[in-house]
Amino acid sequence: NAGVMQNPRHLVRRRGQEARLRCSPMKGHSHVYWYRQLPEEGLKFMVYLQKENIIDESGMPKERFSAEFPKEGPSILRIQQVVRGDSAAYFCASSPLQAGTEAFFGQGTRLTVV
Amino acid sequence: GNSVTQMEGPVTLSEEAFLTINCTYTATGYPSLFWYVQYPGEGLQLLLKATKADDKGSNKGFEATYRKETTSFHLEKGSVQVSDSAVYFCALSDPYGSEKLVFGKGTKLTVNP
């Protein structure tokens, strides 16, 4: 059973471009959480999704950020018009139930905005 | 709101030394408490957890006890190894709503031979 797969592992974008981060949950998991880790900081919750639904987006910046988890395919975190402050590691976690505490984490996507 | 405070790093120890990383929390309700470990370039791995007061979580020689009276969940290991070098995160689950995790800032541990 493959773990949580995130791609790409590293992403470089110029200011103003769009960044798309993908997360394929573990097989059988229908709950996905996205977290952001800024340099020298802990992880901060961004958004919690179930298939085709956003359940909790209280940690998402109000502008430029969006997330989806379609019926088929991976969950996508999309950042439009990236700025240098978006440079961070973005981690996805999946779980089979609404039990984020039993979530399994992917290896993360490290976004660098130049 | 919910928050986690853990001791500032970095922490440098010699092999076989005793490890303590302090963690305290603020939360409404009764959260579950966790320690995660992050090895260089990797994602987070659950190290141990405790779901109610006085529970002790343990794994790979690490232990932590859920202390409601002191709102603490300190991580301990009696004899560290070089392979324990990593960043350790204390976290709690939001007991209401989506059970998202609230993390401390992390403590970097380096163990020298």
So what's the pLDDT on residue B105? 92
Touching check for B99 and chain A: CB below 8 Å?
yes
For the segment B46-67, what is each residue's pLDDT rounded down to a tens digit? Answer: 999 998 899 999 999 999 999 9
Phi, psi angles (nearest 5°) of residue A45: -65, 140
Whether pLDDT at B24 is above 90: yes
Question: A45: which chain B residues are within 8 Å (Cβ-Cβ)?
Answer: 100-102
Touching check for B49 and chain A: CB below 8 Å?
yes
Strand locations in A4-108 (E): 5-7, 10-13, 19-24, 31-37, 43-50, 53-56, 65-68, 75-79, 88-95, 104-105
So what's the pLDDT on residue A98? 56
So what's the pLDDT on residue A95? 85
Enter the tokens of residue B51: 């779901």
Whole-angstrom distance, CA of residue A96 vs CA of residue B85 = 30
Could you please report the per-residue DSSP string of B51-75? -STT-EEEETTEEEE-BTTTTB--E
For the segment A37-73, what is each residue's pLDDT rounded down to a tens digit? Answer: 988 778 999 999 998 899 999 999 999 999 999 999 9
Enter the tokens of residue A97: 């139930």
- Residue of chain A whose Cα is closest to the Cα of B88: A42
pLDDT band at B2 (very low <50, low <70, confident <90, very high): confident
Is A42 in contact with B32 (Cβ distance < 8 A)? no
Determine the average pLDDT of the residues in B95-107: 83
Determine the average pLDDT of the residues in A9-21: 98
Higher pLDDT, B55 or B100: B55
| Residue A7 C-alpha, separation from nearest chain B C-alpha, in angstroms | 13
Q: Determine contact, residues B84/B38, Cβ cutoff 8 Å.
A: no
So what's the pLDDT on residue B66? 96
Mean of per-residue pLDDT scores for chain A: 91
Q: Which residue has the tokens 């997330």?
A: A67
For the segment A28-42, what is each residue's pLDDT rounded down to a tens digit? Answer: 888 899 999 988 778
Touching check for A81 and chain B: CB below 8 Å?
no
| Residue A72 C-alpha, separation from nearest chain B C-alpha, in angstroms | 23
So what's the pLDDT on residue A105? 92
pLDDT band at A100 (very low <50, low <70, confident <90, very high): very low
- Residue of chain A whose Cα is closest to the Cα of B104: A42
Is A107 in contact with B41 (Cβ distance < 8 A)? yes
